[in-house]
Structure 1
Amino acid sequence: MTNSTQGSYFILGAYFDSGPLKYLFFMILTSLYTFILSLNLLLIVVICMNRSLHEPMYLFLCSLFVNELYGSTGLFPFLLLQILSDIHTVSAPFCFLQIFCLYSYVAVEFANLAIMSYDRYLAICYPLHYNTRMTFKKVVMLIGVSWLYPFVVVAGTTSLSSSLQLCGNIINKVFCDNYSVVKLACSDTTVNNIYGLIATYFVVFGPLILIFCTYMRILKVCFSGSKQTRQKAVSTCTPHLASLLNFCFGASFEVLQSRFNMNSVPHMMRILLSLYWITCQPLFNPLLYGLKLSKIYINCKRLFSWKV
């Protein structure tokens, strides 16, 4: 590979010759992508069309569903094309574009989950002051920040990686990964590493610390509050916690696989688990919230009844 990524390409080394099975994989992933698009679009439409759902919690959910569409679209079309292709190469500009999309998806996901936990904290700990503290203006500001600052942070990461001089072009993944690109560098990566640590704090650990603090306050109120308060906390916080744990599980395995030698794990299993955090979260969230939150579930039933 040349000393600059301009005009060059990367080889995705995790793909293997699956023969006629590639058409089966293609059909499975196409069905999964279609299902993800349909579910998330349905819930976005339901929330936007029903004025009764124009509350902060549902507006934050709408932002979450939009991000699921964004993240899955950053992966699935590319993945489907690569499955049918016999040559698994990708141009450097497109590779960095995919890195930006997938990393910003992760950052926005954590930011959305953080503001949702803050919203539940206000609703449970300050129910009488909730409407004055969580105004429509504040909701718009929080959603805007949850999208803007991750994009800025990830843009810096992608920009630094794209300017590196590389001594190789093989990425052992089925999609483009920033850490894999940095490992190919034959120039100094100190700035990349320092910026990466700072970016990780702002887009991962910062939101997780906020979520932890809000849930500590919610638990404190639940233990000292009434049975009704505990029931409200359980009904509204359970989907959020399940979504958070599901996403953290997938992201943790991806980090472990990138940083450590996972050759003891079967190759196909490594591929499936590396895709888990992008494929299952967009599928898991709409199913979880659509079935668990009664308002959304009832409005979905009404929408289908009206169509019939």
Structure 2
Amino acid sequence: MHHVVVDPEVPAEVAELFRRNGPLLSRIRAGWTPEPHSGSSKLAVRALQVCGALAGLLLLGVVLVAQGGQIFLFVAALFLFVAVIGHLAAKEPLEPETYEYDVYRQARWYEGRYLLPEDFDHSAELLRERTRQAVDYVLGSEVNGKGMLDDVRNSVMLPAQEWEISRLLAKLSALRGEHRDLARGGGSPEVFAAMEPLERALIASEAAVVARVEALERYAGHVADAERALRAQEQIELLRSRLPRYEELLAETGADAFAVPEIDGLSRDAARLEQALRDSVRSAQEAFRYLDGPAET
């Protein structure tokens, strides 16, 4: 999948345009430009046609006046001129901007505010995908949709976290690529010795980004626990709502004295699940607060 990561500060309609057109953005990044827009040339031709018709009309008016003021002929010519202009306007309307041109224009305007698959090496792409999955899971969860988590802050902070992690991974990928190219080029022992601290810096930077990804995944894990507790609680509540029907059946059949204790235990099960749900949500909120720190640059 040609997944495009977009800065959350980019307008939503532009971000969606970028996400739908990853391959085209790659072509633009590689130097592709759309064909010159034909609308301006057609407008120039149309203007020349109108000016020519107007000049002809004026010339006809001068000739008619010079020949004795035959004004009715001039009026007829004026109506003919209006008809010609209307025909020119309806014949071939000006084309709107093409779709590709719109993507090109927005890509140039928001250069540096989106990232493409080619911005990530293999290791970074795996981390970026893990980040995306964690963020998508939390934002798409039922507990988040029901407002049991801080859904408003989630919708703002998690996309910002995904963008920041992706931006760091792209920068890390670029530096690793330059480092590998330099290492393949050979060099003296002194050069390799000088490269060692840089390599350690790359390793340390990747470890720091991995820690951020793992924090997101822990948060998503707590949300998954809350999801399971919520579904279990909903199922138990459904069973509790059916309990009177079972009690009525037992009474009508005379078997109420033999009612199994598990039926009476439904309330206790529901209470335990409700507590488990509260604990899961609390754990998720604590994990969220761990994420909600100052952004690293």
Task: Give the TM-score normalised by the residue count of structure 1.
Answer: 0.30
Q: Which structure carries more relative contact order (alpha carbon 8 Å, separation 6+)?
A: 1
TM-score (norm 2): 0.31
